[in-house]
Structure 1
Amino acid sequence: MTRKTIVTNMAVIGCDICGRTLLRGENADVFLHGGSRRTVCELCTTRAMHEGWIREGVDDTMGGRRGSERGSARSLLGRLRSRRSERGYDEDPVEAAPVYDPASYDPDHYAPDQGFVDEVYVEPAPAVHHEPAPPAPEPAPVAGAVGPVAPAPAGQGRPGDDAPRDRGISAVPSNAERKVVRALEVFNLGVHTRTVAGVARSLGAPVVAARPSATEGSVVTIVVAWELSWYRYEVDLGDEASGVRVADQGTELSELADADRVATARADEGGFLHPLGELA
């Protein structure tokens, strides 16, 4: 008896539009954009076409049609030329352009249709050289006048001139519930809402567990989970400008801790997250 090896692991394919990993049984379309091949899931094909991406295979078909149209035009032009030669028609004669002879030019009998233009020599104007003006004399010192003020050294100017300006750093709420509410607001401003909405159309409403990190005071962890897929996001409230980061993802709910499977928020049809109430 010959032994057979059954391989259950499938290749991980990600959508280049929404960034999510395709589920088992999902088909991906290949688009061309920027000279490279892009993988697009079934939920994002309409958006890819709106962005100007070309589905693979369509460009070759259009090119073949254009080539056949050019061939038809050339064959039609060839047939017309052959018919003219059979009937004895010659090509239309082309009149030679008149040749301008300077010796035959007469200003008194100039005709506009001849197109002759008399060349007129204009003597260039002589170059004028301007001598630089002498520098103005320095004013005599006045008794009691104050001399030039030297620039103040660094750190001694106006208050706030040399103070560091922190950009993207915001105050972190001290209350756990306010941290979660602010983290959900930051999440709704990012692009990951499209991923949540796209997967929810196939697998239904997810379980959303949002809670502050036990090790980092400014970080809030958001877990969005379905039966066949889950994502773990992290939001740093101390650096909101960095956005939302995908910390981990998987395909089985058993991979999550019990606390990550208790819903503390909900997702609407657009993929936006909203708190359920106070954390337990």
Structure 2
Amino acid sequence: MRVTKANVTRVCAVCERTLLMGEQTLRYSPDGHEFVDVCTLCSEIALDSGWVREGHAVSPALQQHPRRRRQKTLWQALLGARDEEAEPVVSEPILRRLSDDELTLVEAADLFNQSDFRRTVAGVAKSLGEPKVSIVPLAGVNAETVLTFAWDITWYQYRVTPDAAQPVRIADRGHDLDEVEPAYAQWNARFDETGRLVPELATV
């Protein structure tokens, strides 16, 4: 009987590129517990993001188990960022009363507020005013959520994947509000005066 090796597809946890067979990779831990493959081209990005290379000491800041809705990004925690910079959009007592669908909106908003893209939207808002905002969860196993920020002359769209190495990434942008698909034009959130994305929740 002929025995063949099973093909195992590996991807870089940073750039999400499919790795070639035999390609050299490095192992890093984003959270101090599990290790992931990182291609050599993305090694510096992993280090800059505070990931720990396999075989090196893990910082105490990484050894704490992350909560489902993280108060800070890993990089912010390592730099000692103040809590108010990533203040959650909903307080703990209210969280207990939310449905699963509402929790999805809150988690997506918290992750966006912890990302650098928050500054991008805040900068545009200073010039063009408060945007229309929607948070739309996608069906499927990846638990992705689409965030849309729209003004009369421009719009930005982001995708949030909580379990990804980079949970928030830009997905699309344009100049005409009519370009935004109707499914993503459900204006169910706001970008408040403090520069935070806040979902509109019936429970709150």
- Give the structure-1-normalised TM-score: 0.37
Q: Which has the higher contact order (CA 8 A, sep 6+)?
A: 2
Q: Which has the larger radius of gyration?
A: 1
Task: Give the TM-score, by structure 2 length.
Answer: 0.49
